[in-house]
Chains A and B, each alone.
Chain A
Amino acid sequence: MSGAMAKKKDETPPTPKLEIVKPPPASASAGKAAPGSSRASADKRVTAEEMAKKQREISVSEFFAKNRHLLGFDNPRKALLTAVKEAVDNSLDACEEAKILPEVEVKIEVAKNGGPPPAPSQAERFVVTVTDNGPGIVPEQIAKIFAKLLYGSKFHRLRMSRGQQGIGISAAGLYGQLTTGKPVKVISRTSEKKPAWYVEIQIDTAKNEPRILSKKQLETWDRPHGTQVSIELEGRYQKGRTSVDEYLEQTSVANPHAGFVYVTPEGQRVEFKRTMHDLPHSPREIKPHPYGIELGVLLKMMQDTKSHWLSGFLCGDFSRVSPKVAAEICQAAGLDPRSKPRSIHGDEAEKLYKAIQATKIMNPPTDCLSPIGEKAILAGLYKQIKGDFYTAVTRSPAVYRGNPFVIEVGLAFGTGQAAMAESAVEQEQAVPVAEGEEDEKSETQLSRVMRFANRVPLLYQPGACAVTKAVVETSWRNYGLSQSRGALPQGPLVIFVHMASVWVPFTSESKEAIADYDEIRKEIRLALNEAGRRLSSFVRRRERAQNEYKRRNIFEAYIEEVADACKRLKKGKLDAEKLKKQLQAMAHRLTGGEKTDELVNGKKEEPAVESTIIVTPEGPQGAVPAAGPESPVASPKSEPPKPEPKAKAVKPTMKGKGK
């Protein structure tokens, strides 16, 4: 920490020169070849030395300023979402690491640019403010965390977290700076006993270094500890798919231990309440698993190891390699367990690599992962989605390229009893349908897929994602749903898929879709199958009952018609009511009698399957989340937050600092 302080001092010249290195004038570079005519320089050969003059390092910040789409800032609408997302991800990570139940407030306001602010749907500039109750950031680190790309604590460890590279929040700040010229404003406080700091920062894009515009202590701040970041940026606010609203809803589903308050640009306050009152168990860092290592990496590890013996190297530098397994590997590779790791090259190394792949090794430890858990998924879905049936499956950990991962699937099915009652009312008031008009039933609605990676919702590029592919290739017809070829299943179904891993393979830096590894897709499919089987028994049972019920309903409606027609045929000389009663009695008998009543009214649901909730008119049954204490919100008492939760930061090894 003192080091960081010291560093800070070097870096705080109040006005760092924004040194824009101009390319040397063309005449200068062409001087040697054609002294007379600099105009013709384009035609002349350029020497390596001349070219060398132009070759210089590119700052990451500069690179991303020009390639902002790589980080999810391609258009104003997406930029607004990405900014919120990065800030919220950081808040949740920090709270969890500090063992605090997160309370996050997201506020989006239309920026006041002098004059009356435009309507949110028309506005082009917004201020995004995200406030958490996390551990806070020590004042010295604030600038780097928010205004230096590739700075963070998460890149160099094999442990599960939302953020991975330390790009996100500073990129959001950079985007705001590029589009509005306004600095990022941060307030942070690490404990009740200490003051809150207010810092305004910008990024020096050429150097990838923060530039502090203002830094002061605040008299008061309403939170005992936590961080607030405020970014003004160009954006567009729209509801619907891929909106901030949807992102927060899904985040709340996947993080039932977190509470969210969302203040919309219209000034509406939406609350997503906490339903789980235990923190997810905190993930542990792990060593790489032998299966995930490529030959080159293996060679490098053998050079770097501190072990003198091969067997020691295998046991010490990898996870899940016991002395016995190490011996097996060595034997299979035909190598002496006591050979020096540094002396293994070429063919031997290749043999070793093959031997590792061929040896049965236990899966990597999974305490580096923090799956949401079946109970919490159920709680999240049950809280946020109206349905009649909920189930959740957490697979046991699996491995792709040596990275352990866990797939979790949740299903919410049905329209909810309340919704059913509503639609019944609607039906009564239904307008008669004219010829050629369709009775618009949403029977063919496609199910909705919610994708998550390390508890972060993925909203873009569903088509490129392994999750979507796995959902589509699962045959939902086996589970009682209809599905067209190559499409999502139909029906009132929400499919929740979560991948927890120390390293989630995204298809791009903006983290929108999970790459399609066979192992991952297979795990998702297996989880979907398990959840699907549970769903199917529910669907089939209810369908059977509803069919009988529907039959009886149909008969009841038709009985009216038939009896009335008979009465008219008989010129009124017929007791239509008696006839109706007779026919109704038969209908009741023919459509399963009392048994249907029970099934339809849900009195006799079969005993609940594990990790499943079934909603009946009498209320939900099964693994219903307990109402729980109303607000065990992270009290200030809960252990003094450690300073520098994020500042553990090892400097990224990537070269990126401008000179």
Chain B
Amino acid sequence: MSRTVEDRLVGLADVVTSAAAKKKDPEIQIPVRALSNVEFNPRKRIIEMKDATTARTFFNLGMAKKFMQTMLVADALAELQRADCTTSLREIYYRTKHTLKESSENTFDAQDESDPIIEDLEVTLAALREELNVAAEGRGSIVGNVVLVDDGDAIDCSKAGKSGHTVPSIVEEPGIRIKKVSADFVLLVEKATQFNRLSEDKFWKRHNCVLLTGNGQPPRGVRRLCRRIHDEWKKPVYVLVDNDPWGYYIYSVVKQGSINLAFESERMAMPDAKFLGLSSTDPEKHKLPRNVGIKLNDKDIARAKELLEYPWFQAKAWQKEIRHMLASGLKYELDALANKDFRYLTTTYLPRKLKDKDWLD
């Protein structure tokens, strides 16, 4: 699809008019965003979307409202294109919300009705969210030997103090350029606590790296910036997360892409990213006492068992890693390292990991 995003949005109106002219039920084919419609591509080592679609039709009581909502969102997105401005998911919700004529029914009752429709349109029109001018939540920080150019202003991330520079939610050309990366690698940290510790201790200076965090599951901006540094400057990426099923999954999303946004794996995933820690074997290696572990709850165990089934966790090392956690019955937070020493992470844990190349792939 080489047409502009606007043309693609307008195309939806044509779907309706031409169907109506032929007295046919208007129909939009929307790719399915579910586990059933993704597939792990072992050659590219990323999660890819298969080509199953569902038809969203208008003259169907179950879908009529969604169809109407889809047209309203498409209209708002086209308006955004024409006005050349960027907005948030929430503003789209407010822009499209109104009460239907002669009733008290609203077009949308809550934002959780409009968000999935934007994702539907992303996949249907093969337009990235950034291309649709809709920004995800800006959440995440960067610090280290990188120079970015944001809207013409050069930003040196090594001179951004302890708290670092905020990662914008859209990090695409031409808005953002990566001018220079003198660091040797990227360290993507799950939580702000460890990011702050490493930033305060100037870990990035001593080990010449870029520190990135997304506060939990990294948002698109962080993943995309990481990927661009990885691609454009050929820097390896290491991921540091808690030792629990959710930490594993964060890593896997960074590495292979997510199920919900499988259509974006191609430009988000980093199949070469390494899992630095926390590994289920680390507590033994680093002599963490058992009492700083947390018992796995039922949800953790169920999630871990799901992970064992995912095709992208089939490597022997990974099966061993997850089973080891299940066998121990415990999970560990990165914060637990403070039990040894406040600076244990900076001075001992990470240097030893990097020196021993003690990571999982």
CB-nearest residue of chain B to A578: B20
Alpha-carbon separation in the docked complex, A586 to B21 (Å):
11
Is B59 in contact with A582, judged by CB distance below 8 angstroms?
no
A window 288-306: CB within 8 A of B: none
Whether the Cβ atoms of A557 and B74 lie closer than 8 Å is no
In contact, B16 and A579 (Cβ under 8 angstroms): yes
Query: Assuming A435-B109, A579-B17, A579-B20, is B61 touching A561 (CB within 8 A)?
Result: no
Which B residues lie within 8 Å of A569 (CB)?
Answer: 9-10, 12-13, 71, 74-75, 78
Q: Which one of B34-42, B99-107, B271-279 contacts A?
A: B99-107
| Given known contacts A439-B104, A568-B75, A586-B23, A558 and B12 CB-to-CB distance under 8 angstroms | no
Interface size of B by CB at 8 A reads 36
A551 at the interface (CB under 8 A from B): yes
A570 within 8 Å of B by Cβ? yes
Selecting from B62-70, B123-131, B196-204, B329-337, the interface stretch reads: B62-70
Query: Is B25's beta carbon under 8 Å from chain A?
Result: yes
A560 to B99, CA, bound (A): 12
The docked-state distance in angstroms from the alpha carbon of A560 to that of B64 is: 12
CB-CB contacts of B188-229 with A at 8 A, as 1s and 0s? 000000000000000000000000000000000000000000
Q: Which residues 81-134 of B sit at the A interface, judged by CB distance below 8 A?
A: 98-107, 109-110
Return the chain B residue nearest A575 by Cβ: B17
Closest beta carbon of chain B to A555's beta carbon, Å: 6
Check B10–A586 contact: CB distance below 8 A: no
Pair B16/A566 contact, Cβ less than 8 Å: yes
Closest to B105 in A: A557
- A587 x B101 contact (CB < 8 A): no
For chain A residues 522-578, which have a beta carbon within 8 Å of chain B? 551, 554-555, 557-558, 560-563, 565-570, 574
A-side contacts of B107, CB under 8 Å: 561
A583 touches B12 (CB 8 A): no
Query: What's the minimum C-beta distance from B216 to chain A, rounded to whole angstroms?
Result: 26
A587 touches B59 (CB 8 A): yes
A561 and B23 in contact, given A430-B104, A439-B104 (Cβ under 8 angstroms): no
Chain B nearest Cβ from A580, distance in angstroms: 9
CB nearest neighbor in A for B106: A433
Chain A residues, CB < 8 A from B103: 427, 430, 557
Judge if A116 is at the interface, Cβ distance under 8 Å.
Answer: no
Query: B-facing mask of A280-319, CB < 8 A → 1, else 0?
Result: 0000000000000000000000000000000000000000
Q: Does A24 contact B (CB under 8 A)?
A: no
Chain B hits for A563, CB < 8 A: 16
Using Cβ atoms and an 8 Å threshold, which residues of chain A touch B64? 554-555, 558
Across the interface, do B105 and A590 meet the contact criterion of CB distance under 8 Å? no
Residues from chain A with Cβ under 8 Å of B246 in the complex = none
Cross-chain contact A557 with B101 (CB below 8 angstroms): yes
The answer to whether B72 has its CB under 8 Å from any CB of chain A is: yes
Does B58 make an interface contact (CB < 8 A)? yes
Q: Are A554 and B61 in contact (CB under 8 A)?
A: yes
With the chains together, A585 CA to B68 CA distance in Å? 17
Nearest A-chain residue to B59, judged by Cβ = A590
In the docked arrangement, what's the CA distance between A566 and B26, Å? Answer: 12
Distance from A573 Cβ to chain B, minimum over Cβ atoms (Å): 10
Q: How far is the CB of B121 from chain A (nearest CB, A)?
A: 12
Checking B13, B17, B20, B71 against A561 with a beta-carbon cut-off of 8 angstroms, the contacting residue is: B71
**CB-CB contacts of B13-34 with A at 8 A, as 1s and 0s?**
1001100110101100000000
A-B contact pairs, 15 of them (CB 8 A): A432-B99, A433-B99, A551-B61, A555-B58, A558-B58, A560-B100, A562-B68, A565-B75, A569-B9, A569-B13, A569-B74, A569-B75, A569-B78, A582-B21, A586-B25
Given contacts A561-B72, A582-B23, A590-B59, 16 further A-B contacts (CB under 8 A): A427-B103, A428-B102, A433-B105, A439-B105, A558-B65, A565-B13, A565-B68, A565-B74, A566-B13, A566-B16, A566-B17, A569-B71, A569-B75, A583-B20, A585-B23, A587-B59
